[in-house]
Amino acid sequence: DTGVSQDPRHKITKRGQNVTFRCDPISEHNRLYWYRQTLGQGPEFLTYFQNEAQLEKSRLLSDRFSAERPKGSFSTLEIQRTEQGDSAMYLCASSLYRGGIDTQYFGPGTRLTVL
């Protein structure tokens, strides 16, 4: 069973540039989550999708951030006009939600460095 994959694994960019990350969930998982993890901290929830619908966004997700899951499979997270404070690990997780609680399985993350 293929796990959650994320691309790229590392991204270095200059302040002000736009970046886009991709997440491919476990096949047939209907939920997809994005988290951000800064050094020495646990992951923080950003947003999640159920199929193609984005159902919740954290207040951490500023207007410069946008996420999509157009066909209910892979998802992209775009950051526009990056700032140094955006430097973090961006984690994607997926789950099979059938009501109740779902267990989230995480990908390896994309480490973003903004210079």
Partner 1 sequence: AQKVTQAQTEISVVEKEDVTLDCVYETRDTTYYLFWYKQPPSGELVFLIRRNSFDEQNEISGRYSWNFQKSTSSFNFTITASQVVDSAVYFCALSEADSSASKIIFGSGTRLSIRP
| Interacting residues toward partner 1 by CB under 8 A | 31, 33, 40-45, 48, 55-56, 89, 91, 93, 95, 97, 100-109, 111
Which residue, 16 or 44, is less far from partner 1 as judged by CB?
A: 44
Beta carbon of residue 17, minimum distance to partner 1 (angstroms, whole number): 23
Q: Are strands 75-79 and 19-24 parallel, antiparallel or unpaired?
A: antiparallel
Which residue, 28 or 101, is less far from partner 1 as judged by CB?
A: 101
Among the listed residues 74, 112, 69, the one whose alpha carbon sits nearest the alpha carbon of residue 90:
112
β-sheet bridge partners, residue 14: none
* Tokens read off for 28: 């047939």
